[in-house]
Amino acid sequence: MPSQTVIESDGTIKSFTDWVKADGSTDFQPENGRYHLYGQHLCPFSHRAAMGRVLKGLEDVISMDNMDYELNRGEGWKFSPDKEGCDADSVNGYKYLKEAYTASAKKLGASGFSGTVVVPTLYDKKLQRVVSNESADILRMFNEEFNEFCVNKELDLFPEALRPEIEEVEKWTHMTIGLGVYGPGRAENQEEYDSAIEKLFTGLDKAEAILSKNRYLVGKQLTEADVRLFVVLIRFDVVYYFLKCCKRRIADYPALWAYTRDIYQTGNIKSTVVFDQIMKGYFMSYYMRAINPNKIVPVLPELNYDEEPNRENM
Ligand SMILES: N[C@@H](CCC(=O)N[C@@H](CS)C(=O)NCC(=O)O)C(=O)O
């Protein structure tokens, strides 16, 4: 089966875009123990994949290593088993994730990897190469392609009948909120800042209006649209608020705050939210070098994510 990953005209690979498929239409069949996830708790995109893994009950089927939370430009994601909560590379024993990317690119006949080495990365231990480094695709693979092996087969985060609506909601939540949280911090002048704030809080107000009437964003069940919004909301008051998104906290929005707690308390999701690493990751990594050169990690705000959400009967 030809790989879906493209070798660019310069001979390199910029991203891995293959798919695990239960119907046998690709080289990547779902198997117990065959795939591995490289992630980091700080990253909302990595969190999408970690949530899919836990929601579907795939912890024993898909192994996972957590990278060093401190990301440096140049060297990229590193394995630091000596740091609390961080793992060694349990598959290849590499020191840097880029080694897996380079070896995978060579395996496909490319001269190297020229894109950004990211988390999440889904790796195939059998064919010894990266399958995908796109979180939206990995979340869908976990949802659909491992039903033979997962604990929660009946959970469908992307039900056929709701797909157009889910994609529509994901589009505006991603543009206004998912990407929107980075706008105010990156603005280079007042005008840019003001318009970034306007865009972000218009998106949050819209989500608040929907979630004050509905338990979930689409239909009457948890879908991937909720997963994708949750990973942003759970970081908002502890990180993005301090990146100049400070018009309002999520805790100041009645519906968004209860919705965030509701999802946080669903199944095993809590186990995927590691505030200590989220804080260290954002405040110590190169993203914040300009505004936090001394790598000071602020105190975690006192917020009770375990407080009763009272949303079951909505
Ligand atoms: N499109 C990718 C983006 C993932 C992504 O941007 N991850 C960031 C961490 S939040 C990363 O690994 N950045 C690496 C770097 O900046 O060197 C996805 O959704 O999976």
119 pocket-lining for ligand 1 (C-beta < 6 Å):
yes
**Is-contact 39 32, C-beta < 8 A?**
no
CA 154 to chain CA centroid, nearest Å: 23
Distance (angstroms) between ligand 1 centre and the Cα of 89 equals: 19
Q: Identify the structural domains of the chain with CATH numbers, from first to last.
A: 12-144 (3.40.30.10), 160-267 (1.20.1050.10)
Residue range 191-205: mean pLDDT, rounded: 98
pLDDT score at 314: 86
118 pocket-lining for ligand 1 (C-beta < 6 Å):
yes
62 pocket-lining for ligand 1 (C-beta < 6 Å):
no
Assess whether 246 carries a catalytic annotation: no
To the nearest whole percent, how much of the chain has pLDDT over 90? 95
Catalytic residue selected from 35, 38, 43, 216: 43
Structural tokens at position 226: 């909720």
Kindly tell me if the per-residue pLDDT of 291 is higher than 90.
Answer: no
Measured in degrees and rounded to the nearest 5, phi and psi for residue 144 equal -110, -30
What is the C-alpha to C-alpha distance for residues 64 and 61, in angstroms, rounded to an integer? Answer: 10
Closest C-alpha to ligand 1, atom 6: 118
Beta-carbon count within 10 A of 81 CB = 12
Assess whether 286 carries a catalytic annotation: no
Q: Is the dihedral of CA 162, 168, 170, 176 positive or negative?
A: negative
**Is-contact 242 296, C-beta < 8 A?**
no
pLDDT score at 288: 84
Closest C-alpha to ligand 1, atom 12: 118
What is the C-alpha to C-alpha distance for residues 171 and 178, in angstroms, rounded to an integer? Answer: 10
Q: Is the dihedral of CA 47, 53, 57, 59 positive or negative?
A: negative
To the nearest whole percent, how much of the chain has pLDDT over 70? 100
Query: Residue 244: helix, strand or coil by DSSP?
Result: coil
Whole-number Cα distances in Å, 30 to 6, 18, 20: 22, 13, 6
Question: Closest ligand 1 atom, CA of 118?
Answer: 12
DSSP 60-111: TTSEEEEPPS--BTTTBSB--TTSTT----TTT--SBHHHHHHHHHHHTT-S
Residue range 139-169, pLDDT digits in tens: 999 999 999 999 999 999 999 999 999 999 9
Residue range 97-106, pLDDT digits in tens: 999 999 999 9
Residue range 20-44: mean pLDDT, rounded: 98
Greatest CA separation found in the chain? 56
Kindly tell me if the per-residue pLDDT of 2 is higher than 80.
Answer: no
116 pocket-lining for ligand 1 (C-beta < 6 Å):
yes
Best mutation site among 15, 16, 37, 43 for ligand 1, i.e. most ligand atoms within 8 A of its Cβ? 43
135 pocket-lining for ligand 1 (C-beta < 6 Å):
yes
pLDDT score at 11: 97
